[in-house]
Amino acid sequence: MGRITVRRPVRRIGPNGETTRPDTLAAEEPLEIRLDGKPLTVTMRTPGHDVELTHGFLLTESVITARQDVAAARYCDSPGPDGRNTYNVLDVQLAPHVPRPDNSVERNFYTTSSCGVCGKAALDAVRLRSAHPPESDDSRVSTETLVELPEKLRAAQRVFDTTGGLHGSGLFDTAGELLAAREDVGRHNAVDKVLGWALLDGRTPLRGHVLMLSGRASFELVQKAAMAGIPTIAAVSAPSSLAAELAEEQGITLIGFLRGSSMNVYTRPDRLSGTGSPEE
């Protein structure tokens, strides 16, 4: 398994002069995902939880809908300059009943750590139809519970404490219990890892759950939540306009600027309860 962090010398310049000291950086390496031996995509990620990441990616790309759809997932031999396996190639064998994805939904063979939809073969393929539509989910969550989630997620971001350079994603129930938290240099990878964990644990569709994001809520993250059936998304920062449009279209409660005791509710406020409900 690749390193999660990397130590490098850094020259620090401050009011008292310059010093050279080691610094810890978040690792970023490519992961090539193959289906039945055929390359599907490459994503830049922080090594770790690669099987979860791959399952979450395939779920949110509508390739699979359940853990039974994957027969096996194995690292391929991908030697680095020193001859050792880099663990940067993962081959997934689909179950016999699962068709290969249509070429129109496949990504071009590269995805950056900052963008989960860069390289889509067709723009129309960006909006995928969920097998678990969240619109009819009647679960409710209190505002008192929501305001506690950012700190709970932050406490689970252990690598962020060391590097300051990772996005975090947390899956909570409506009582505010943290079920899983993952970190990655790519915000979409952090979400895929959490969703992959849920799929492998037999928890999908994720009705009655809250997805907590450490940064902004972008279009692709709302799409991923919709594909997993998540009814509520909360983010520390702002959503994009397209994220809000998609959340409204999918019937997802979208919350942004969740900081301290305040928040902005962009869609489906009917799922919120409690004396601390946001002002209209």
> Which ranges of 122-266 would DSSP assign to H, the alpha helix?
143-146, 149-156, 158-163, 187-200, 219-228, 241-250
Rounded Cα distance between 199 and 122, Å, is 27
Select which of 6, 66, 115, 242 is catalytic.
115
Which run of H or of E encompasses 254? Answer: strand 253-259
Q: What angle do CA 61, 188, 261 make, to 5 degrees?
A: 125
Tell me the C-alpha distance between 233 and 231, whole Å.
7
* Residue pair 199/192 in contact by the 8 Å Cβ criterion: no
The yes-or-no answer on residue 118 being catalytic is no
The residues pairing with 24 across neighbouring beta strands, listed in sequence order, are 7
Cβ burial, residue 1 (10 Å; 0-12/13-18/19+):
exposed
| Active-site amino acid positions | 115
